[in-house]
């Protein structure tokens, strides 16, 4: 169940993510949980504290406590900046001191609506062609950036499920407090 998207929007989003980072011999965006990452970003303020900055100093994956799971509290200005980025300025004067800002939620909502439910039923090559079209290009670029974040960012943000994004590229992820030995650094 998506946190912020409607079920229909989420279905289209999954199809888009599947085109952008498809599964091959290792998992792609969908099975890695990228749509959940994007849903978590757009719905960051539906949880408390908002899911913007994971805690520190350790995740528990290499020792230490699972502190990433304790998200930071935001200051008044942090919240203003992140609500503006996600929700848009919505005509609120305190968010529009340099003019209106279109939020991520609106960009996703209108981008997915423009693709429509029929996008899910297109053949893969037709889906690719739709995503490359001039009118869709900026939307595709934004979703791809978020796909990369959801594939290879810390699992606490909702993507990279069980670290499979990292495992598939043999990247260890966060390594505190273990770190690496001098020999591991200097040798092949």
* Token code pair at residue 56: 């520190």
Whether 49 and 164 have beta carbons less than 8 Å apart is answered as: no
Minimum CB–partner distance for residue 15 and other proteins (Å): 14
- Given the structure tokens 């930071």, which residue do they identify? 72
Collect contacts of 44-51 with beta carbons under 8 A, ≥24 apart: 44/82, 44/86, 45/82, 45/83, 45/86, 45/87, 46/3, 46/4, 47/3, 49/73, 49/74, 50/74, 50/79, 50/82, 51/157, 51/158
Minimum CB–partner distance for residue 4 and other proteins (Å): 18
**CA distances (Å), 140 to each of 52, 113, 150, in order?**
23, 13, 15
Whether 119 and 130 have beta carbons less than 8 Å apart is answered as: yes
Nearer to other proteins, 80 or 120 (CB): 80
- Given the structure tokens 């499920």, which residue do they identify? 161
Residues in contact with other proteins, shown as a per-residue x/- string from 117 to 156 under the rule CB under 8 A: -----------x--x--------x---xx-xxx-xxxx--
- Residue 180 as a binder of other proteins (CB under 8 A): the answer is yes
- Residue 115 as a binder of other proteins (CB under 8 A): the answer is no
Binding part of the chain for other proteins, among 7-15, 54-62, 104-112, 115-123 by CB under 8 A, reads 54-62
Binding part of the chain for other proteins, among 1-9, 66-74, 105-113, 115-123 by CB under 8 A, reads 66-74
> Which residue in 60, 63, 116, 177 binds other proteins (CB under 8 A)?
177
Nearest to 104 by CA among 154, 166, 59, 37: 37
- Residue 174 as a binder of other proteins (CB under 8 A): the answer is yes
Nearer to other proteins, 8 or 171 (CB): 171
- Residue 57 as a binder of other proteins (CB under 8 A): the answer is yes
* Token code pair at residue 140: 């595709």
Interface contacts to other proteins, rule CB under 8 A: 19-26, 28, 52-59, 67-68, 72, 75-78, 80-82, 84-85, 97-98, 101, 128, 131, 140, 144-145, 147-149, 151-154, 157, 165-166, 168-188
């Amino acid at each position: 169940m998506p946190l912020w998207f409607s079920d229909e929007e989420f279905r289209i989003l999954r199809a888009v993510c599947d085109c952008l980072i498809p599964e091959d011999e290792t998992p792609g965006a969908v099975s890695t949980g990228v749509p959940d990452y994007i849903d978590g970003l757009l719905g960051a303020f539906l949880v408390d504290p908002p899911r913007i900055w994971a805690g520190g100093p350790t995740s528990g994956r290499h020792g230490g406590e699972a502190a990433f799971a304790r998200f930071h509290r935001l200051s008044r200005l942090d919240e203003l900046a992140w609500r503006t980025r996600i929700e848009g300025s919505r005509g609120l004067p305190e968010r529009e001191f340099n003019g209106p800002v279109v939020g991520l939620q609106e960009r996703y909502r209108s981008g997915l609506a423009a693709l429509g439910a029929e996008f899910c039923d297109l053949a893969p090559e037709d889906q690719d062609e739709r995503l490359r079209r001039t009118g869709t290009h900026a939307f595709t670029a934004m979703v791809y950036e978020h796909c990369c974040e959801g594939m290879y960012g810390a699992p606490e943000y909702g993507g990279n499920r069980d670290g499979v994004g990292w495992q598939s590229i043999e990247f260890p992820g966060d390594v505190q407090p273990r770190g690496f030995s001098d020999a591991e650094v200097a040798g092949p």
